[in-house]
Amino acid sequence: MQLLKINDTTRRPYIAIIGGSNFLRKAPALHLLASQCDGLFLVGKLSFQIMNGLGIPVSSCLIEKNATKEVLQLIEIAHNRNIPIYYPTDLWCLNSNNNEQLEIFDSAELLSGLISLGWTPVDIGPSTLERISSLLSSYKKILWIGPTSFDLTEEFSVGATQLGQILNKASHNSCDIILVGGAACKAVKGMSDSSSQYTASENESIVWEFLKGRILPGIAALDKSYPYQIPWDDVFSDTTQPLFVDIGSGNGLFLFQMARNWEGLNFLGLEMNEKLVVRCLQDVASAGKRNLYFLSTNATSTFRSIVSSYPGQLTLVSIQCPNPDFNKEQNRWRMVRRMLVEAVADLLQVNGKRSIYSRTWSLSCLE
């Protein structure tokens, strides 16, 4: 699977068809896709969150109440970029009182009352598939990630099968197709031929982690040859501005203050703790800051490949309080290694500055 192909936006227009559930956990990846793609079509349980965020009545049993903030942020990103967000217009539904009774309902009709009468959505309906087919004819690149169904079973997979047929047709019209996850790959299996243009991976979880900005261990090990690519033009409003990198950015308070005080600089925080990075990115989106960004990564191995792709100049690198908990055996290593220092020295502009602030100076000494 060529992970970087997902972030490659040279072929446009680019649309992502996104299925599955758990909006909160996927929020950083969804926000990234909203900043890169020219359209989003949400299916599966994710679509209920978007419909609720757009003010469409949705039964409370289908809403992730702890994801409301992230849903509204996604809608805001799409609105600011003037890209559409689509959702199913009709759904195949199963009657809980009769497991053999299947019917098609309008989405709004179902979500506003039929749920309480025992009808449960199981997959996208024919009108939704017709809409997808009509939309895709104007796109040059399509990502399908996650199942179209509303549960994790494959007993009813009409939507996935027909979507696979639609994408197979699109692949014959010089459209790049990226398939991620077992449902997507299974749907087109056996349809493709020599004229089809597919990139496929059944390992959906790895792709979600990649889209969140997490450096995968196997990739990190090959850092020097791995061209880590950041959509800088989507991250910062002006990529010609000098870059300030804070390694081990923690809760991000330092960089937030710097970004407020120095609008003429771009600030990038590199932090290993993914939860802290997710919170920082949420705060960045809420504040509308376009000169501040955070990545979850081990900068010791990835600094060079991340920063080397930045269009402007690197003017300052800071490492503050590199003081790990030495009671944990896995933390018993020096914080600043030679490979990181060499990468910083190579990439800093002439007269650029690097600063290390440590409670224990020996921790930052080179090996």
Q: What is the mean pLDDT of residues 113-128?
A: 81
Neighbouring-strand partners of residue 355:
318
pLDDT of residue 75: 95
Answer positive or negative: Cα dihedral of 187, 191, 193, 196.
negative
d(CA 175, CA 169): 9
Instruction: Please check the confidence at residue 335 and state whether its pLDDT lies above 80.
Output: no
Q: How do 141-145 and 119-124 pair as beta strands?
A: unpaired
Task: Give percent of the chain above pLDDT 90.
Answer: 36
Please name the helix (run of DSSP H) or strand (run of DSSP E) that holds residue 34, with its range, or none. Answer: helix 23-36
In angstroms, rounded to a whole number, what is the distance separating the alpha carbons of residues 89 and 56?
A: 12
pLDDT at 365 over 50: no
Query: 25, exposed or middle or buried, with CB in 10 Å at 0-12, 13-18, 19+?
Result: middle
In the chain, at which residue ranges do the beta strands (DSSP E only) sit?
14-18, 39-42, 85-86, 90-95, 98-106, 119-124, 141-145, 176-180, 198-201, 243-247, 266-271, 292-296, 314-320, 348-357
Q: Where in the chain is the domain with CATH 3.40.50.150?
A: 217-364
C-alpha triplet 334, 300, 221: angle, nearest 5°: 115
Amino acid 224: pLDDT: 44
Residue 101 has pLDDT above 60, yes or no: yes
pLDDT at residue 260 tops 70: yes
For 323, the 3-state DSSP assignment is: coil
Q: Which of 34-43, 77-86, 126-135, 193-202 has the lowest mean pLDDT?
A: 193-202
Residue 326 predicted with pLDDT over 50: no
Alpha helices by DSSP H, 156-203: 158-171, 182-188
pLDDT at 352: 53
- Convert 27-49 to b/e letters by CB count within 10 Å (16 or more is b): bbbbbbbbbbbbbbbbbbbbbbb
Q: Which is more confidently placed, 333 or 286?
A: 286
Which CATH number applies to 4-211: 3.40.50.1260, 3.30.413.10, 3.40.50.300, 3.40.50.620? 3.40.50.1260
Q: For residue 335, which of 293, 365, 290, 303 has the smallest C-alpha distance? A: 365
Q: 111 to each of 129, 257, 356, how far by Cα in Å?
A: 19, 44, 55
CATH says 217-364 is which class? alpha beta
- What is the layout of strands, in order, in the sheet containing 266-271? 292-296, 266-271, 243-247, 314-320, 348-357
pTM recorded for the entire structure: 0.63
Question: How many Å is the Cα radius of gyration of the chain?
Answer: 23
pLDDT category of residue 254 using cuts at 50, 70 and 90: very high
The answer to whether residue 344 scores a pLDDT higher than 60 is: yes
**Which residues of the chain does CATH 3.40.50.1260 include?**
4-211
C-alpha dist (Å) from residue 163 to 124, 134, 183, 207, 289: 10, 12, 10, 20, 38
Determine the pLDDT at residue 363. Answer: 42
pLDDT computed for residue 210 by the predictor: 80
Cis peptide upstream of residue 322 (ω within 30 degrees of 0): no
**What pLDDT digit, counting tens, does each position of 226-249 carry?**
446 688 888 899 999 999 999 989
CA atoms within 13 A on the CB side of 345: 7
Cβ atoms of 157 and 44 within 8 Å: the answer is: no
